[in-house]
Amino acid sequence: MDSPIRDILTAYGSAMGGLKETRNHIRSTLTLALGVETGSLIDFETTGRPYLDTEHDVITLGYFHGNELVVIQRKTKEKDLFYSEVKGILKQLPRPFYAYNADFERSVMKEELGLEVGPGDFVDIMRPWKAKAEKAGLKWPKLDELISEPEDYFKDNKISGKDMPGLWKAYLAGGTEVLLRMIMEHSLSDLLRETVLLVRYEP
């Protein structure tokens, strides 16, 4: 195995294994050899979708700016302190925010976090793929359909976005932090795959 790849894998294992914790959250930072210098890539994990579900608590924020990819995972049922931390981070991150299906991230920031977002604050990484799918008469592609994971190929049990509310509720019901790590690893995977779309194809 080439040294750069081994270094990246070592950094990945270190980031997800040596986690920094406070009473309110777990924070993982992964330093990459590439970066996002203009704007920030963001990704939320929530218990539902604003406008569609009655509950849409933010449980995870992932973001990538400069060469640091960070995942911050909520640990407590009480959300005010975590929300305060998340809002402080989002206010400091440079805009525009890049996101896959940016309408979701925009709605979470507005409806759940109470943050003001303007029309130019987001760039939707999904937009060119939606347009291409519509032109071809296809449904809009999910991130998993554009960039798959090994679990897709081997038909292994895969953690996906739809599993996030259940994992969070299982943790609150007395589960271990292993469940939180599963949520964080899913968020990290989404961010890494979205980075490929952003860097390789530029929306």
Domains in the chain and their CATH numbers? 3-201 (3.30.420)
Residue 199's pLDDT is what? 87
d(CA 188, CA 184): 6
- Give the integer Cα–Cα distance in Å for 155 and 92: 40
**CA 86 – CA 152 distance, rounded (Å):** 32
Phi, psi of 22 (to 5 degrees): -125, -175
How many whole angstroms separate alpha carbon 49 and alpha carbon 174?
Answer: 24
pLDDT of residue 35: 86
Q: Where are the alpha helices (DSSP H) in 59-101?
A: 80-92
Alpha-carbon distances, residue 189 vs 62, 121, 165, 182 (angstroms)? 10, 24, 17, 11
d(CA 61, CA 188): 10
Count of C-beta atoms within a 10 Å radius of residue 22:
12
- Residue labelled with tokens 């390789």: 200
For residue 13, what pLDDT is reported?
Answer: 42
The type of residue at 183 is I
Asked whether the beta carbons of 171 and 179 are under 8 A apart, the reply is yes
* Rounded Cα distance, 11 and 30, in Å: 7
Using alpha carbons, list the distances in angstroms from residue 18 to 12, 72, 98. Answer: 10, 13, 27
Taking Cα atoms as reference points, which of 160, 163, 164 lies closest to residue 193?
A: 160
pLDDT at 74: 97
How many Å apart are CA 159 and CA 200, to the nearest integer? 25
The pTM score is: 0.87
One digit per residue, the tens of pLDDT, for the chain of length 203 reads 344 433 443 444 444 444 788 888 999 999 888 888 899 999 999 999 998 888 999 999 999 999 999 999 999 999 999 999 999 999 999 999 999 999 999 999 999 999 999 889 999 999 999 999 999 999 999 999 999 999 889 988 888 999 999 999 999 999 999 999 999 999 999 999 999 999 888 76
